[in-house]
Structure 1
Amino acid sequence: MAQSMAYNASAGLSGMLKKGHQSFSGLTDATLRNVEACREISTVTRTSLGPNGMNKLVVNHLGRIIVTSDCCAIVKELEIEHPAAKMLQMAAEAQDFECGDGTNLVVSFAGELLSQTEDLFRMGLHPADVVSGYSSAGEKLLEFLEEMTSEVEGVADGRMKEQLERAIRPVLAAKQLGSEDVLAPLVAEACLGTMSSGGKAAVNVESVRVAKILGGNIHQSHVVHGFVALRGVEMTLTSCENAKIAVFSCGIEASATEAKGTVLMKNAEDLKSYNKSEEKKMEEVIKSIADSGVKVIVSGGSVSEMALHFIERYGMLCLKIGSKWELRRLCVATGSTALVRMGAPTPDEMGWCDDVKQIEVGGKPVTVFNQKDDSGKSKLSTIVLRASTSSVLADLERAIDDGVHAANTACKDGRLVPGAGATEMELSLKIIAFADTCPGLDQYAIRAFGKALEVVPRTLAENAGLDQGSVLAALGAAHASGKKSAGIDIDAMGVATATGIKDETNVLDLYATKSTAFRLAIDAALTVLRVDQIIMSKQAGGGRNAAMDPMAGM
């Protein structure tokens, strides 16, 4: 105790904290280091922004190869250690959880905001002045953004397939350029199939699943209003219609006793009678299930040979599903209740399916539980996805997941804003004009905030192989002349309008996604700028973790 109370005042903070800690403070050692780390992570993801964004090939610690342009997937697999850069990663994950799309906008805009602060600090501004200016500009940005919204009829209702596709298509094009015309109708159909017929339209993102089957091409993908199991049935019977379904989360086999015991058999008659009693009991169980009207039995565990024999005798179809998550989705699709006991289910515990059949897709047997009536009867839709490689399948699945989130967001808030960089350029001009009306040192930070908004159109042009200087100048001139919806038209290699109603580019973004992305990016940037000291304890593990110091080299 006496030793721990000894304090060497001349050692400063190092004399107070435990040996092995690290401390960084001040503008140069803490703030600028954090800014540099955030700029580096935004530089990695920025080239993946937009329809012409490049893919990243990431090999994780398990040797798994991920090829994607999805920002959230990239930053998750990078295993970021730097505490400031990790804030941007958490902001991207929050955006992905909330809206599905716009994660690259969060990281790119936050990184550009922090990059702009380096010039402000060289000018002599204090971090408090920068934080104050960025906060004022952020409030104005959300006000200006709301003024730019327009609502297209049918998107808010969510039940018009064409308008729902219109909201989904830009999201899919940003991830899978060239495949949006195939994927958008599939996602819209799958979402509409799970909507209830009455009340406000709503999409549950867990109700749209993806079944990935290797082989073929994306044009062979289709939607099933129901559940698809990626394995065949266990019986010679492979199809039935108007089927009652019994789902057992346990295995269908003779249960073992809890206490260990030994059966002594003296002759062959004892052995025959023992087997007959076991067969008789199993037959009683299967017969009671068949007498209840069940045509399909689904087991979450193993099915014994004896049980399969009696299921075959009574003309029922049997399927094994090993995953408890897949079993739960089947219960949702068919309205079944997973039973933990062997025996006949009650009418309330049974499920129903219009058509159950085993088909062959790409040389692989799959079992399809299809609800023929898609007017809200099925609570689950499955997109059967085909592609040539597993990497493409995984990336297509991520794009579809973002599209389903976009449909969910459109049903909650159907307001849209011009895309193709039009919104960011218009906001940039308005924020810079707002800075001219502000006295004091805040105006420099507000002007830098408006300059940072140009990162989106500049990156879109750069990723498309255009001359970013000339495109940005032409785009700024178009907005200065009053064309608020002028955006970058990548196909026309120039500048066009993007109102989404009469104009040729027809690029629209969801207002809710855009506003959430801006809010998260601003919050992450301000959190980093408010840090003036970093204190790190010695990492556990000795020499191994010393080499993994997140602040090393910064």
Structure 2
Amino acid sequence: MSQRMAQGQPMIVMSDESQRVKDKDAQEYNISAARAVAEAVRSTLGPKGMDKMLVDSMGDVTITNDGVTILKEMDIDNPTAEMIIEVAETQEDEAGDGTTTAVAVAGELLKNAQDLLEQDIHPTAIIKGFHLASQQAREEVDDIAEHVEPDDEALLQKVAETSMTGKGAELDKEHLGQLIVEAIQQVAVDTEGDETLVDMDFLKIETQTGRSASESDLLKGAVIDKDPVHDDMPKSVGDADVLLLNEAVEVEEANVDTEVNVTDPSQLQQFIEQEEAQLKQKVEQIIDTGADVVFCQKGIDDMAQHYLAKEGILAVRRVKKSDMEFLSEIVDGAVVSDLDDVDPADIGHADVDRDDADDMFYVTGDENAHGVTLLLRGSTEHVVDELERGVTDALDVVASTVRDGRVVAGGGAIEVEVANRLRDYADSVEGREQLAVEAFADALELIPRVLAENAGLDSIDTLVELRAAHENGQHRAGLNVFSGDVEDTFESGVVEPAHAKEQALTSATEAANLVLKIDDIISAGDLSTDKGDDEGGAGGGMGGMGGMGGMGGAM
């Protein structure tokens, strides 16, 4: 790459290995990459969306239609595509669901932007138009949204069921929806004003295979999937004093390599007795705390297990750190790191029951402990994994709805209504930005079109029918993919959180504008980041999304 100086001599400013893609080529390349990501997840959208099977480099299989999971698991090595994946991750973090919607809208915005670029409309005008449209769209969503009270269980359950429809949790969505709403209400705390705080740290999810999803349960307390360390220990202890220990009940090892020379049997016996005395001392310290139950994050020596069993103390070892922190909230006790420094206030209180059918301990605190565990059951690991993803999204969605207090009709109703209002708004926008606002409105209508496509319906007929209903003032009119009819989806129970829609609009717009603003790609090496394929070749597209292949000759 060279740049001519005034004297006509070339000045080298980039190395021979560097590559550069400029202007329209760069825009086309970026838009193609972003759209390829959107296309990858479009078929998963909605109740009739299909699943993807993802096989990683180790051969582990994931079957899901969760947008963010698909994009994270796919082996994408492309800077532009990764920018679109960030849209899904942001949507997941902020709203809990709607990742496929956000990515699909971002892809459609860029597709429509490409049409405008071909009409010689400058990217700056498109970016400004998209920004204006996004702001107006958020205002329209807020205007359309309906208020929901935190204790409106029926409506919250509809929100949960809508989120789970089309996912692995769909078959038992009514039962799971009840559990989800109850779980969120358990960890919701009223704050000053209209705000409701939902503390998800007090909610844990445990999974178990070999049972039906309909047998999933909500437990007011913690579930510890461990066995007692000794068979002679009690299995259940009511009104127990509980010690949470983060110290090994084992013989302390020397910090450096130590060599012990034993010259006669009495020395060996003395050495063993010293170790035994050390263990006995630790057990005595546990007994002195008055604890009936010990949950230990580290190991417990076999001999210590024997002594604890003789004292009738139930002990569980190798408990996960996250479980220890959760238990601390349930039993209202502190995690102790040193037996020499145990305070009576560190000891918690709870009922500890062993369920032999599940091989789990159920730890239930008093009425002040509001930590809950959602125990999800499924027939196989793959079923349980997808069930957990669906339920986690639904939990986040219901929590977001309780915090935000606003819902909208689903089934594409909100997108068509906002698009309809944006077209009216476009008339007030001057200059070429007006075309960008109209392009934004068209992009929103991708959602009902894809919902129809994925359900095997005619997307054009569906969109025409939806537009007609909204022109007649039916702002809740959406697509019922099961019947194929356009109806009041809010009344049909297809309800979505307004916050998730607003977040999807914001994320998609900002990502699209970020891509559109790039007019020059300068790579320090081969633009094809797929190292296995050195021959890019012009027009090769995204190289199977494994790299940027195809831009090699586009200079």
Q: For residues 116-195 of structure 1, what are the structure 2 equivalents within 5 Å?
A: 116-152=112-148, 154=149, 158-175=150-167, 176-195=169-188
Counterpart CA distance in 1 for 2:152 and 2:463 is 36
SS of equivalent to 1:140:
helix
Residues 466, 11 of structure 1: CA spacing in aligned structure 2 closer, same or farther, 3 A cutoff? farther
Q: Does 1:507 align with 2:504?
A: no
- In structure 2, the CA distance between the partners of 1:376 and 1:8, relative to structure 1 (3 Å rule), is farther
d(CA) in 2 for partners of 1:438, 1:343 = 73
Aligned residues of 1:424 and 1:453 also touching (Cα < 8 A): yes
Give the 5 Å matches for 1:386-535: 386-498=377-489, 500=490, 503=491, 505-535=492-522
- What is the deviation of 1:434? 2.2
The one-letter amino acid of 1:512's match is: H
Distance 2:188 2:132 in 1: 41
Q: Decide whether the 8 Å contact of 2:222 with 2:326 is kept in 1.
A: yes
Aligned AA (1:525): A
The verdict on how the C-alpha distance between 1:321 and 1:36 changes in structure 2, with shifts beyond 3 A counting, is same
Deviations 1:159-188 (A, max 9, x none): 454343233222122534333212211222
Change (3 A) 1:219 1:302: same
Change (3 A) 1:350 1:19: farther
Q: Secondary structure at the match of 1:81?
A: coil
Distance in 1 between the 2:279 and 2:54 partners? 52
CA–CA separation in structure 2 for the residues paired with 1:420 and 1:95: 19
3-state secondary structure, aligned to 2:240: strand
Contact 1:195–1:376 (CA<8 Å) still a contact in 2?
Answer: no
Work out whether residues 78 and 529 of structure 2, in 8 Å CA contact, stay in contact via their aligned partners in 1.
Answer: no
1:2-21 CA distance string (max 9 Å, x none) = xxxx98757978x2012311
How many angstroms apart in 2 are the aligned matches of 1:207 and 1:243?
Answer: 21
Instruction: Extract unaligned runs of 5+ from structure 2.
Output: 535-542
Q: Judge conservation of contact 2:529–2:547 (CA < 8 Å) in 1.
A: no
Partner residue, 1:218: 213
Identity level (%):
26
Query: Counterpart of 1:352 in 2: which secondary structure?
Result: strand
Distance 1:402 1:249, change over 3 A: same
The answer to whether residue 202 in structure 2 is matched with residue 207 in structure 1 is: yes
Partner residue of 1:297 out of 294, 297, 301: 294
2:332 corresponds in structure 1 to: 335
Q: Say if 1:191 and 1:525 are closer, same or farther in 2 by CA, change over 3 A.
A: same
Structure 2 Cα separation of the partners of residues 17 and 551 of structure 1: 20
The 2-side partners of 1:531 and 1:269 are apart by 80
2:357 counterpart of 1:370: no
Q: Partner of 1:56 in structure 2?
A: 52
1:132-156 Cα deviation digits (max 9, x unpaired): 222222222122221101103x2xx
SS at match of 2:238: strand
Which string of whole-angstrom CA distances, capped at 9 and with x for unpartnered residues, describes residues 409-444 of structure 1? 123211111211111001111112222343422222
> Compared with structure 1, are the counterparts of its residues 359 and 197 closer, same or farther at alpha carbon in structure 2 (3 Å cutoff)?
farther
- Greater alpha carbon shift after TM alignment, 258-267 vs 527-536: 258-267
2:104 and 2:388 mapped to 1: Cα distance? 23
1:284 aligns with 2:275: no
- Equivalent residues in 2 for 1:227-306 (5 A)? 227-235=222-230, 236=232, 237-258=234-255, 267-306=264-303
Q: For the residues of structure 1 that align with 2:519 and 2:530, how far apart are their CA atoms?
A: 28
Distance 1:460 1:7, change over 3 A: closer
CA distance in 2, matches of 1:480, 1:12: 62
Distance of 2:9 and 2:457 partners within structure 1: 56
Change (3 A) 1:259 1:537: closer
Q: Structure 1: how far apart are the matches of 2:319 and 2:18?
A: 48
Q: Unmatched 5+ residue regions in structure 1?
A: 1-5
Taking structure 2 as the reference length, the TM-score comes to 0.89
Comparing 336-345 with 87-96, which one deviates more in the overlay?
Answer: 336-345
The verdict on how the C-alpha distance between 1:521 and 1:335 changes in structure 2, with shifts beyond 3 A counting, is same
What is the correspondence of 1:28-47 to structure 2 with a 5 Å cutoff?
29-47=25-43
Which amino acid is 1:228 matched to?
V
2-structure distance, mates of 1:433, 1:60: 47
Q: Secondary structure at the residue paired with 1:483?
A: coil
Q: Distance in 2 between matches of 1:230 and 1:11?
A: 74
Structure 1 position 99, deviation (Å): 1.2
CA contact (8 A) 1:95 1:101 kept: yes
Contact 1:134 1:449 in 2 (8 A): yes
The TM-score normalised by the length of structure 1 is: 0.89
